[in-house]
Amino acid sequence: DQDIPTLISDEHYNVKVFYTHAGCTLVALNPFQPIPDLYSLDVMKEYHCAPQPKFKPHIFIVAEEAYRNVRGQLEPVNQSLVVSGESGAGKTWTSRCLMKYYATVAASSSVVKSQNTVERIERRVLDSNPIMEAFGNACTLRNNNSSRFGKYIQLQLDRCQLLVGASVQTYLLEKTRVACPPDNERNFHIFYQMMKGATDEQRKEWKMPRGQRFTWLPKSEKTLEEDCFHETVEAMVHLGINAERQRQIFRILAGILQLGNVNFSSSADESQLCNLDEQSKDFSQRAAELLCVPAEELQTCLRVRTLKAGKQSVLKPCPQAECSMRRDCLAKVIYAQLFEWLVTFINNSICADESMWCNFIGVLDVYGFECFHINNLEQLCINYANEKLQQHFVAHYLRAQQEEYVSEGLQWSFVKYQDNQSCLDLIEGSPVSVFSLLNEESRLNRVSDTKTFRTRLEKELCGNANISWDKFSKEPHFTVAHYAGKVNYQIQGMVEKNKDPVPPELISLLQKSDNPLLHQIFTDKETENPTNKGLSKVTVVSKFKNSLESLMRILHTTTPHYTRCIKPNPDCKPLTFQKEEVIMQLEACGIVETIHISAAGFPISYLSGLIRAPVFLGVLTCLAVVSQLDLLEDQRKKILSRCAFSIQCCWLRYQQRRRHARQQSSLARLPLCESVDCDLTALLKSLAEAELDDAKDLVEEDVSALNPVIRERGSVQLANIQEPVTVRGWPMGLALASAPSITMSLTATGFQKMMSVMASLNLPSRRAEYKVETNQYTKGLASIRAQPKGSVKMHYQRSPLLYADRQPDMKTDVTGFNEILLQNHRPSTSG
């Protein structure tokens, strides 16, 4: 515990130091207030463009490290950024920052794609956030913007590491919140956005007059930053949800709210239907109109159960409790399927074709560890997911890092850490676990008894030290010792939630809806009917366990990067640091063991050009270490610079001495050559004229007509000639003059190569316009069958002497290959 206060303290927090490194983990403190300068575009560019960012810890360092791993194609190439922490610690905001970072840096350098396309992709990827948060987040006791579902977003990158698309996978939406918001908490944001942002015309259409109270909208008087209806609508437009489809969505949501105001009262005669007062009848009528279903049929489905007796159907009135349950079930199944449709639509809008992307960076944002006054199946699944992620962290770092130190020969004594495998065995193990017993109880065709189920749990799982019971408690429950602390789970209602039954009458009703979207959702979706599937029905925990195992398989094939979000105070107060609250979270998630391992291991590590320093001695101490590292790096650069300067000086001195020696040698031999200069010049000209082919004969040579196919396929379009040029013999000078962006390479080597270039080209100059004079129309270079797009290799078929009739520069009248050769080497050929 003595190491923890120096890791993060209130002094650092108050001076707005919110990030620090602990081994492979970035620790992030939630400031609970906007810090705009900390996440600006300039800050993004600073971290992205620096050759070796040595800035203070930041979420952008984690993002850039993952991005550089992809660019460097380090195995495994695909990356995952795991953002964890308890509810209210800042996971949603952190994930939002990561997505914004990649949408910026992975698109800003694009030069090969249309800018409009890039903007549309990155805009759509970012606009998926406000929609999913509006429909999947809610204000809870611990967080004003709590994610009530988990999501894994894969940002898809092409071979140039540019963002070309994304896909979203969601986990376990807390749909019970729609009909049963917990005490002192709110429903999903979208309902409050509609209430506060609707126009008068929309209110009239949705049958939501001002001042109308809805049972399922508690705390509606509370105004939050998330109650921004316009932002949600704007995001829908950008993603391609047109006005008519929006109208259908909002009518469905308004219909759900109307259902919540429908109340039932028991009838004096159990054989009669439950009563509806006039107000409830009015609300049910409104709900039917908004959902586009017959009002009478809606009321019947809520109050009458259809029983199968062989081939006959028997109608039985439902008691009051069952009527309320069917009403809630209708609302939950509509909202859950609407949310699933939205996720599918978002994926269709932003997901790239498989041929367009080759790597991905995944951002995982799951619900944080939860422990409330009343905990049920939702909290059990949420905390189970956090246990799986904690195990992944333990396996990847706490165990793997120590094994790496041993393999590298470091004298090492293993640091003990909390392994949560026994807790996972309790929840999901085989053959007997909480999940297996819960599924068995859910598949029995009878009403579950909480006391009986508790007795069975105690009998079957008493051997596991992670579970316990309070025998004096009035409410049947069991207690699980999680890695983050003990949680009491209420058994009442857990089995029914795991069954998640949907009466078939309700599905049939929704399939008849005249709302096109509602009709589509329940017609296309295969209904899980317990009457037809019987014991094979998939339970909530089975479905969630399978999806979570699929996620873990993906994580195990990627390079993980961990960010632990810490909640500095339980009341979400800005810049308020409570030491005990922070210590409890750091101990629970394994940060303490991480600090001990990092302190005993290597203090500084280089990864993908990024410097990472674990803060096991505190933030200020860490910053001092990285300053010291800067000094060492600066000294190293100065030494390398001096060495490079010395090498350059030596090379320049060598070249200067060599040139001076040549000049002295030429001056010494010059008097010997002056006496025969005139005769030698005449001799050189005669030799050159005798050796060269007759250019005039070649120019007058008849050229046979080309085959039309050869003319079409063997021609290229040059920039300064309107008609296509047939490629038969293409002199290098013509290629370079007409297509200067093409890189040329010759097969000639050594001195011959240099001289052939000089002889073949008449280079452009300021004093004269370039002019190509070729005397080899059908000879010379190999044919080129397509317009060159990259480098071009040109092979001489005949001697470079064919191009000897060239003037090497504008200051001399010397022409001819041999004459140039002899002129430039006159002293050495005088013998």
Q: Mind telling me the catalytic residues? A: 87-88, 92, 143, 146-147, 368, 370
Q: How many residues can be counted in the chain?
A: 831
Q: Which two tokens stand for residue 239?
A: 């993603």
The verdict on whether residue 87 carries a ligand-binding annotation is yes
183: Cβ contacts below 8 Å, ≥ 6 apart: none
Q: Is 35 exposed, middle or buried (0-12, 13-18, 19+ CB in 10 A)?
A: exposed
Of 484, 238, 287, 477, nearest in space to 375 by CA: 477
State which amino acid sits at residue 712: E
CB count within 10 Å of CB 645 equals: 10
Strand 312-317 versus strand 304-309 pairing type = antiparallel
Residue 110, CA distances (Å) to 50, 51, 116, 159, 408 in order: 18, 19, 11, 12, 41
The verdict on whether residue 88 carries a ligand-binding annotation is yes
The verdict on whether residue 86 carries a ligand-binding annotation is yes
Of 707, 719, 705, 720, nearest in space to 788 by CA: 719
For the chain, the straight-line distance linking the first and the last C-alpha, in angstroms and rounded, comes to 93
* Segment (H or E) for 343: helix 320-350
The verdict on whether residue 268 carries a ligand-binding annotation is no
Please, which contacts does 719-726 make with residues 24 or more away whose CB atoms are closer than 8 Å? Answer: none
Q: What is the DSSP string of 176-204?
A: HHHH-PPTT---BHHHHHHHHH--HHHHH
328: Cβ contacts below 8 Å, ≥ 6 apart: 179, 180
Beta bridge partners of 153: 168, 363
The verdict on whether residue 211 carries a ligand-binding annotation is no
Residue 743, CA distances (Å) to 60, 605, 730 in order: 40, 42, 15
- Is residue 804 a contact partner of residue 796, using CB atoms and an 8 Å limit? no
Query: Over the range 726-742, which residues count as b (16 or more CB within 10 Å of their CB) and which as e?
Result: ebbbbbbbebbbbbeee
Q: What is the DSSP string of 260-321?
A: HT---B--SSTTSPPB--HHHHHHHHHHHHHHTS-HHHHHHHHHEEEEEETTEEEEEEPPHH
- Is residue 818 a contact partner of residue 687, using CB atoms and an 8 Å limit? yes
CB count within 10 Å of CB 572 equals: 16
The verdict on whether residue 567 carries a ligand-binding annotation is no
Please, which contacts does 570-578 make with residues 24 or more away whose CB atoms are closer than 8 Å? Answer: 570/88, 570/142, 572/30, 572/32, 572/88, 572/142, 572/143, 572/144, 573/32, 574/31, 574/32, 574/33, 575/13, 575/14, 575/31, 575/32, 575/33, 576/32, 577/9, 577/10, 577/13, 577/14, 577/29
Q: Which two tokens stand for residue 433?
A: 């676990």
The verdict on whether residue 90 carries a ligand-binding annotation is yes
Give the residue ranges of the annotated binding site.
85-92
Give the residue ranges of the annotated binding site for ATP.
85-92
